[in-house]
Each structure stands twice: as C-alpha cells, then as structure tokens.
C-alpha cells in the first residue's frame, strides 16, 4: 500500500502560540517531528497555514503544503493537503505536529492495521499501568478508549471508562486494563474524503473528540497497541519537560 504522512501544523495555538517553531535541543519541534516520521515513511509533508512555519520546513529540506486558516481539525487540514499533492496514495497518516518523540514502532503499528483490508481508520492506544496512578487515569486531557474483541474502538471518552462498580478507585488499575488514546490517525483516502464532509455530531460536541463523529456515523476505527510513551507539547511547560526527556535519550 502507498502511505503518506501529513503533519498538520498551525501557528495560532491558544495555549502555546508558534509551538511548531519552538526550539527543542537546538531544532524546531516541527523538524523533530518530520525527522522521526521520515525514518519510516518515504512520503511526508507538513500542512500549514502560516508562511513562517512553511519557511522553516523548507529550510531543513522538508516538503510543505499551504492550507487554509478555516479548518476545525488536523483531519480537515490533512484532506486539503492531500487534494493539493500529486501522487496516488492509499492511506494518509495524520501525525500531530507537536509529537517530536513519535517512534518508528508506533508508525509501523499504525500501518500494520491496514493489513486488514476492512480497516477504514486506524489509531493507537497505550495501556495504563498501575504505576501511572489514579491522577493520570482520570486526567480529562488524556482520553480513554474502550476496545472490542476485534480490537476496534467502541468509544472514546475524557471520563474514565469503564466504571468499575463495587471496586475502590485505588484498585482500578490493578483490576482492569484501561487504554490511553495516542492521538495518531490513519485513514484510507476515500474514507478521509467522506469523514471531512460530515457535520459535527452530538457526542463529538459533548466530549470535544472528533473521532466520536466517525463512530456515530458508522465508521470503524481499528486500534493498534503500543507500549511506548510519547511526550506531546501543548504548553511551554511541556516543552521544558521535553527538554529534560531529550537529555535522557
């Protein structure tokens, strides 16, 4: 199959403006993401609405596609970029532009989901461990995922799901395997075209999770499992933690 990775990157982040251009170990965040992706995927580009980001990508030799400023999500930005690219691709991999530590094994696990010809959309999860603790499990900024026996997503929620009735919360992580969503997606190109034309759904608006729109409209999301933890950068404080993590690598 012919895969392409598209990395949506916008300048106007509410919590961290100019985040893709922030320096991490002497290189921009967006360069580190791009470099990690290219270790696995020969076809990759950055999709942005800002000339400063585009110039930075071109400066390190990356491919870039200019997109509009109106997009509601990275998925929508990916689709516009795909429409502007030459070449025939079977699957688009959406890699967030604030994940400089994404690992080759994670990208490979996502691609492997498409060994199943029925896969429409794929994403990744990581099991929570008892060492993570209750605070990490209940963090609403870390969505949880329920899996079916066929390793497809039943539901995504910012709440802790499932609820373990009759079990003290301190014991939940010992009694059940909860899954943390890793915000990495891949879509067959025909499916990407379809889902970007869907209106926002009630569950999506309630939880502010776009993948619920796809589930509500009958799409199946295949789930790959990774044991690798990543450090996403949402705030300047996250960047400081990433600097410390980089020194340990």
**Structure confidence at residue 12 (pLDDT):** 80
Going through the chain in order, the beta strands assigned E by DSSP cover 3-9, 23-24, 27-28, 44-48, 64-66, 91-94, 121-127, 144-147, 153-157, 179-188, 221-225
Diameter of the chain measured on Cα atoms: 58
Mean pLDDT of 75-81: 95
Cα separation of 212 and 208, whole Å? 9
**Structure confidence at residue 244 (pLDDT):** 87
Residue 33 Cα distances to 1, 8, 53, 99, angstroms? 23, 11, 13, 6
Helices (H), 39-73: 51-59
pLDDT bracket for residue 86 (50, 70, 90)? confident
Model confidence pLDDT, tens digit, residues 235-247: 888 888 888 888 8
Cα separation of 137 and 129, whole Å? 9
pTM: 0.93
**Structure confidence at residue 8 (pLDDT):** 95
In the predicted structure, residue 186 carries a pLDDT above the cut 80: yes
**Structure confidence at residue 235 (pLDDT):** 83
Cα separation of 142 and 158, whole Å? 7
**Structure confidence at residue 202 (pLDDT):** 97
Phi, psi of 179 (to 5 degrees): -120, 130
CATH among 3.10.20.810, 2.40.110.10, 3.40.710.10, 3.90.550.10 for 3-236: 3.90.550.10
**Structure confidence at residue 201 (pLDDT):** 96
Q: What phi-psi label fits residue 159: left (phi over 0), alpha (psi between -120 and 50 degrees) or beta? A: beta
1 by DSSP, 3-state: which?
A: coil
Q: What phi-psi label fits residue 26: left (phi over 0), alpha (psi between -120 and 50 degrees) or beta? A: left
The two structure tokens encoding residue 223: 């789930």
pLDDT: is 95 or 11 the higher one?
A: 95
Alpha-carbon dihedral sign for residues 36, 128, 178, 202 = negative
pLDDT bracket for residue 183 (50, 70, 90)? confident
Cβ contact 81:54 at 8 Å: no
The two structure tokens encoding residue 2: 């012919």
Cα separation of 198 and 3, whole Å? 24
């Amino acid at each position: 199959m012919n895969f392409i990775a598209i990395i949506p990157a916008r300048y106007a982040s509410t919590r961290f403006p100019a985040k893709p251009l922030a320096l991490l170990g002497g290189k921009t965040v967006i360069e580190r993401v791009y470099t990690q992706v290219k270790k696995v995927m020969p076809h990759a580009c950055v999709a942005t609405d800002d000339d400063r980001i585009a110039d930075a990508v071109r400066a390190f030799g990356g491919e870039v596609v200019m997109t509009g400023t109106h997009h509601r999500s990275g998925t929508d930005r990916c689709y516009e970029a795909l429409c502007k690219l030459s070449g025939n691709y079977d699957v688009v991999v959406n890699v967030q532009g604030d994940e400089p530590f994404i690992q080759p094994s994670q990208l490979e696990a996502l691609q492997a989901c498409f060994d199943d010809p029925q896969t429409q959309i794929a994403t990744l999860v990581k099991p929570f461990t008892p060492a993570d603790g209750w605070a990490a499990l209940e963090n609403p900024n870390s969505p949880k995922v329920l899996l079916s026996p066929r390793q497809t997503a039943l539901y995504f929620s910012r709440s802790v799901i499932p609820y373990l009735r009759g079990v003290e919360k301190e014991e939940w992580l010992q009694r059940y395997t909860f899954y943390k969503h890793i915000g990495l997606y891949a879509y067959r190109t025909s499916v990407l075209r379809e889902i970007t034309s869907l209106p926002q759904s009630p569950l999506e608006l309630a939880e502010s999770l776009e993948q619920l729109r796809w589930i509500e409209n009958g799409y199946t999301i295949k789930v790959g499992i990774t044991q690798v933890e990543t450090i996403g950068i949402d705030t300047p404080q996250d960047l400081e933690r990433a600097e410390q993590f980089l020194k340990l690598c």
